[in-house]
Structure 1
């Protein structure tokens, strides 16, 4: 979720049993109602990585007197998880309500304590309250709505891949992902298991057997070490650099796994994260060609991400795919408050690629990568520019008045969108405004929901080629900064001029 400032430490938590609360089954705290044309289903998939592999050279420090209960490598890839948000085929009997906190709740509590640097005894009443009752207003494991039943001007649902920020996860941006799904898109929210989330619970898969889940909490520089023999990492922030590589693997595996699932690949190992049943047949078509699939996965993919997730998107699209992976055929990119510090400077700039239009070339690349339809790494297009995805950046006020960072962002976006006009800033927004946190029940802020609605509206308008029309309907203001006080370090405190929610177009 949030991003760029120094991390802090954590504590432990008592075990609290909520199983005897009779009201638990009757009471739910729902996030705000999802706006959009379609009901939203939510299903979380997992797939094994064989063989499991260590990414990078960062190693976990051993706690004194404690047995090492997990691999010594800090970044160990053994299972990939992603939550699908999608248009759902529901009936009057369908039950709404997807838990927002990851299970078990005790581990979520440890994770938030670690990320926030607060004692877990201080957090546990709130975490257990929300953990027991907080729900996403969507339908768990509901069947996918067939495009043929949806009365849409397309035969396939477009595919979006979402990458979360530091302290985020596969449910933390449920409002944004659900809003895209309710508009008629399939959104795969990758759960990055690289120590950037508050908690995740991967398992090892070995010859059909699965180990019990092991918790991975938020990682700090103080939690890891490098051996003296390790090659010096040249990334600006070494741990984040290695986490970016880990994320590259996860995104590629999630995408290729989903493609294989849609093709009903009999060799694919894929199941829901808790083993619960889902309607597999609703996702598949009788004709397993890509043209007949219910999801458009061969081309036109959308990448989106927040903060370090935005950094991940830029990293993926500005570098050659890792060995063994083909480039994902991305057409558009929506980046929310991107954090650029972990990326080498100058840049990033688009990695040159050209869309493969020759059927034989596409088929050949498909066999090599096990993913149908990719971009070939050739330079040049008829207009003299390398083909790359169109980009929209939506920034918070906090990241826009971060002068050095914003200046670099403008340089980066100019490389993707030379004509300009693709950085939008929302007055009065914060870095956390793109997530669910500001709209949580009981603690939600009055201005949080309108800001989140504007973020979703602008994103959808860009994806549907209606951004200019959407901007005409929204209040706008010019870029103007005023001094409103002095920070603790003596530097001036700055603020954008305008009303909360006003859009600045740059």
Structure 2
């Protein structure tokens, strides 16, 4: 039992302490929902948010995995106590401009599932916005309606500049007059072709990434923003602190594919980092285009012949597209689940490979930072890890994984 309770998300190693908050701008299904990780002021006490923000997400995961509803309380027992080692609504460090990363989650995930990667990148001087998609690819997500239909809620959400309270907290408390609506994952129907559905979802996901970038652009310009959530970090503290000339998009699995399409369609994204990208939703037409720089970081055991073909087709004739593989890793090695599951759950859901989970995530983080410096022209020292981008080092090889 002791080993179970030793499982936790690692604290950030970068020079900046990290805070986080949630923004839901436009409470309707068409609005933007994201978790923001950001450099915060050092010192003081602040609460740590629960990793699974609401019990409903346990139900969403069980539904996505086609498990019995009786598994929901068991999943909550296994994961419900975990916290994210960041300061919830901690005071923003408004002393410089920070580059921005928009992060897109995978199929059956949600905005908090990649907390370890997001908070580590934020600790190196980035603002990271983890989108929770409403294309019905999340395990579940929520939006709000008013009692009188989808009209504006009453104004006046309060702002916070930090908290001296201690202890983990659940992080969704909406403004008065809003009724919560939960949106479950959309599963394939019997006999349904997958590509049309996933390509449609892909287009919506790219739109949602752009919407979050629009939102943060408004915030950076000082435009008034009405957050549907009460008591969260006041958006106005971010004014003039987002470097909109240095914006990238990043994601895992379906989110990796989303990042590839987003960087090809939206010139505001200067580069993309695609973690074990699920390439099925990407059209052949898109694969024939030469997108901006893309960094494919693959696990050893997920990719198929068709998805590797698409990666190579994109890379053909484009030296700004890099592909590496982390040996001993599996698809879930790039999620928080690899850190929070013990041996039994790992066997059941293949959340761990043969590589140490912390070592695998460290390779991802350092390689991504080196790539971001290269293509965002960052005045940092991340180029010390340039060899990883070229597939040189322990536990990595250049190119896609070999098929067996």
TM-score range, shorter chain: 0.7 to 0.9
Q: Report the count of equivalent residues.
A: 354
Structure 1 residues 87 and 34: CA distance shift in structure 2, 3 A: same
Residue 334 of structure 2 is matched in structure 1 by: 434
Q: How many Å separate the matches in 1 of 2:390 and 2:204?
A: 40
CA drift at 1:264: 1.8
**Which has the higher Rg, Structure 1 or Structure 2?**
1
Residue 394 of structure 1 is matched in structure 2 by: 297
The equivalent position to 2:325 in structure 1, one of 425, 448, 451, is 425
CA drift at 1:408: 2.3
Contact 1:44–1:272 (CA under 8 A) maintained in structure 2: no
Q: How many Å separate the matches in 2 of 1:419 and 1:460?
A: 15
1:119-198 paired onto structure 2 within 5 Å: 119-131=68-80, 133-147=81-95, 155-198=96-139
Does 1:503 pair with 2:396? yes
Residue 301 of structure 1 is matched in structure 2 by: 247
Structure 1 residues 88 and 399: CA distance shift in structure 2, 3 A: same
Q: How many Å separate the matches in 1 of 2:236 and 2:196?
A: 44
Residue 385 of structure 2 is matched in structure 1 by: 470
Contact 2:249–2:262 (CA under 8 A) maintained in structure 1: no
Contact 2:324–2:389 (CA under 8 A) maintained in structure 1: no
- For the aligned residue pairs, the C-alpha RMSD in angstroms reads 2.9
Residue 32 of structure 1 is matched in structure 2 by: 10
Structure 1 residues 127 and 426: CA distance shift in structure 2, 3 A: same
Does 1:41 pair with 2:41? no
2:121 is paired with a residue of what secondary structure? helix
Q: How many Å separate the matches in 2 of 1:193 and 1:435?
A: 20
Deviation per residue, 1:286-305 (Å, 9 max, x gap): xxxxxxx11112x2211111
The equivalent position to 2:313 in structure 1, one of 373, 394, 411, is 411
Contact 1:109–1:127 (CA under 8 A) maintained in structure 2: yes
Q: How many Å separate the matches in 1 of 2:216 and 2:236?
A: 14
CA drift at 1:109: 2.3
Deviation per residue, 1:329-349 (Å, 9 max, x gap): 121211111111112215424
Residue 241 of structure 1 is matched in structure 2 by: 199
Residue 216 of structure 1 is matched in structure 2 by: 183
CA drift at 1:224: 12
TM-score, length-normalised on structure 2? 0.79
Residue 482 of structure 1 is matched in structure 2 by: none
Contact 1:236–1:344 (CA under 8 A) maintained in structure 2: no
Structure 1 residues 164 and 419: CA distance shift in structure 2, 3 A: closer
Structure 1 residues 246 and 403: CA distance shift in structure 2, 3 A: closer
2:180 is paired with a residue of what secondary structure? coil
Stretches of structure 2 that go unaligned for 5 or more consecutive residues are: 155-176, 347-351, 375-380, 400-404
Residue 231 of structure 2 is matched in structure 1 by: 276
Structure 1 residues 213 and 128: CA distance shift in structure 2, 3 A: farther
Q: How many Å separate the matches in 2 of 1:457 and 1:31?
A: 17
1:52-131 paired onto structure 2 within 5 Å: 77-91=29-43, 93-103=44-54, 105=55, 107-131=56-80
Contact 1:300–1:332 (CA under 8 A) maintained in structure 2: no
Structure 1 residues 94 and 442: CA distance shift in structure 2, 3 A: farther
Contact 2:103–2:251 (CA under 8 A) maintained in structure 1: yes
2:272 is paired with a residue of what secondary structure? strand
The equivalent position to 1:337 in structure 2, one of 276, 284, 287, is 276
